Amino acid sequence: MSAALHPDTVAVHSGRADLTELGVHALPIDLSTTNPLPDIERGGESYEAMATGGRPPADGSMVYARLWNPTVARFEDALAEMEHAEAAVAFSSGMAAMTAVILAQTASTGLRHVVGVRPLYGGTDHLLGSGLLGVETTYCHPSGVRSAMRPDTGLVVVETPANPTLELVDIAEIVAAAGSVPVVVDNTFATPVLQNPLDHGAAMSLHSATKYLGGHGDVIAGVVACSEETAEALRRVRAVTGGLLHPLGAYLLHRGLTTLPVRMRQQQENARQVVQWLIDQPEVDEVFFPGLDGDPRGILERQMRGTGAMIAMRMGGGYAAASAVASSVSLFTHAVSLGGVDSLIQHPAALTHRPVPADARPDADVLRLSIGLENAGDLISDLAQAFASLGARNSSSAVAVDAELAGSWSI
């Protein structure tokens, strides 16, 4: 596809190059678990090619769905194009994707030291520190990456915007500090619409595709955009460990990509309006959102194309206030995950970051909001009535919402 095309167009048309040849317009779903073999020799050659990370030969067979599936491959091609990558490899979950990255890198180099740049998603932080994958992890903040590097360091793991406090990390600076060691960036919060880590030197861009890529809370998946060489290593891990993505999930994700730019723009605008309201509320001590600090290091301007739609807030009443608000919302759903069309609220310290050691865990007074596609005024009204449950304001003032937002029904 032409590099001159706008990203919105790429989102709609990527990964569909073979549809005309197939004579279809909508994405087909191939649910086959096994495939006919042309003959023993070509069947065996096909198996070996894919089991070692390659693609199915043109005159061969896809053999078995653990090795290759065309529906999954179309989604991978689409995501790779959106991420400005040579290839992408999809997995059954974001954690399966991160596990494959770690296993592939340590297996290919024999280097078993990892630098984890905090804050990270709680599951990633826990995986790196668990010892389950045979790696030793040194945790640090972005400024400490260079000093954390060792001769046996094989991977640097970073997330930006970070989960849950939305801290921005300069990817190019991390890459420079890592030297020849590959850097994997969790790009889940930003999505390829707002950020392309490989353009800033990262070796891999990883997504929990469950979130914004799918966008509707009905599929669990992970995907890594990278070079073809790295993709081959990741496919080998996927083939051996069985962390494959089901074709129906790949179909839903590929369809989700077509509306991703539109969703991200509106969710981002909704988040901006919610943030502007939150910063004036006496119940909130601090709001975490990219750019609120004026972007003094220029990371937002240099690295991203927008702020995203995630918000974190520190409640003035501590854990008790955070718990009360999470339990009092009615339009927001009190649930983990993020990035869907409906808005969610959750308490990171008690849930997604519960396995993280106490000294690195988010504070107990912090709530995380994933802003969806609802009317921003309605979301603000819901938060206002939840704040009223804290008793800090009388009920009449607690439900007061900016008239412009409350009355904004235009699309």
Render pLDDT for 115-143 as a digit per residue (tens, 0 to 9): 999 999 999 999 999 999 999 999 999 99
Is residue 146 domain-resident?
no
Co-location of 277 and 219 in the same domain: no
Per-residue pLDDT tens listing for the chain (411 residues): 656 899 999 999 999 999 999 999 999 999 999 999 999 999 999 999 999 999 999 999 999 999 999 999 999 999 999 999 999 999 999 999 999 999 999 988 999 999 999 999 999 999 999 999 999 999 999 999 999 999 999 999 999 999 999 999 999 999 999 999 999 999 999 999 999 999 999 999 999 999 999 999 999 999 999 999 999 999 999 999 999 999 999 999 999 999 999 999 999 999 999 999 999 999 999 999 999 999 999 999 999 999 999 999 999 999 999 999 999 999 999 999 999 999 999 999 898 888 888 887 888 999 999 999 999 999 999 999 999 989 743 333 333 433 333 333 332
- Of 209, 236, 257, the position where a domain reaches its end is 257
- Count Cβ neighbours within 10 Å for each residue of 349-364 and write b for 16 or more, e otherwise: beebbeebeeeebbeb
Q: What is the CATH number of the domain that holds 198?
A: 3.40.640.10
Give the whole-angstrom CA distance, residue 375 versus residue 345. Answer: 16
**What does the pLDDT read at residue 255?**
98
Co-location of 229 and 273 in the same domain: no
Is residue 161 domain-resident?
no
| CB of 111 closer than 8 Å to CB of 134 | no
Q: φ, ψ for residue 183 (rounded to 5)?
A: -115, 130
Is residue 220 domain-resident?
yes
Co-location of 194 and 309 in the same domain: no
Co-location of 321 and 399 in the same domain: yes
Range of the domain at 50: 7-113+171-257
| CB of 187 closer than 8 Å to CB of 207 | yes
Q: Convert the pLDDT of each residue in 196-234 to its tens digit.
A: 999 999 999 999 999 999 999 999 999 999 999 999 999
Co-location of 249 and 272 in the same domain: no
**What does the pLDDT read at residue 144?**
98
- Of 220, 241, 257, the position where a domain reaches its end is 257
Co-location of 280 and 232 in the same domain: no
**What does the pLDDT read at residue 362?**
86
- The vertex-99 CA angle with 245 and 235, nearest 5°, equals 50
Co-location of 249 and 302 in the same domain: no
**What does the pLDDT read at residue 3?**
65
Q: What is the CATH number of the domain that holds 320?
A: 3.90.1150.10
How many folded domains does the chain comprise? 2
Give the whole-angstrom CA distance, residue 308 versus residue 268. Answer: 5
Co-location of 241 and 289 in the same domain: no
**What does the pLDDT read at residue 360?**
77
Co-location of 243 and 347 in the same domain: no
Co-location of 188 and 288 in the same domain: no
SS (H, E, C) the chain: CCCCCCHHHHHHHCCCCCHHHHCCCCCCCCCCCECCCCCHHHHHHHHHHHHCCCCCCCCCCCCECCCCCHHHHHHHHHHHHHCCCCEEEEECCHHHHHHHHHHHHHHHHCCCEEEEECCCCHHHHHHHHHCCCCCEEEEECHHHHHHHCCCCEEEEEEECCCCCCCCCCCHHHHHHHHCCCCEEEECCCCHHHHCCHHHHCCCEEEEECCCCCCCCCCCCCEEEEECHHHHHHHHHHHHHHCCCCCHHHHHHHHHHHHHHHHHHHHHHHHHHHHHHHHCCCCCEEEEECCCCCCCCCCHHHHHCCCCCCEEEEEECCHHHHHHHHHHHCCCCEECCCCCCCCCEEECHHHCCCCCCCHHHCCCCCEEEEECCCCCHHHHHHHHHHHHHCCCCCCHHHHCCCCHHHHCCCCC
Co-location of 65 and 212 in the same domain: yes
Q: Which residues are catalytic?
A: 66, 121, 186, 211
Co-location of 285 and 310 in the same domain: yes
- Of 257, 284, 302, the position where a domain reaches its end is 257
**What does the pLDDT read at residue 1?**
67
**What does the pLDDT read at residue 247?**
98
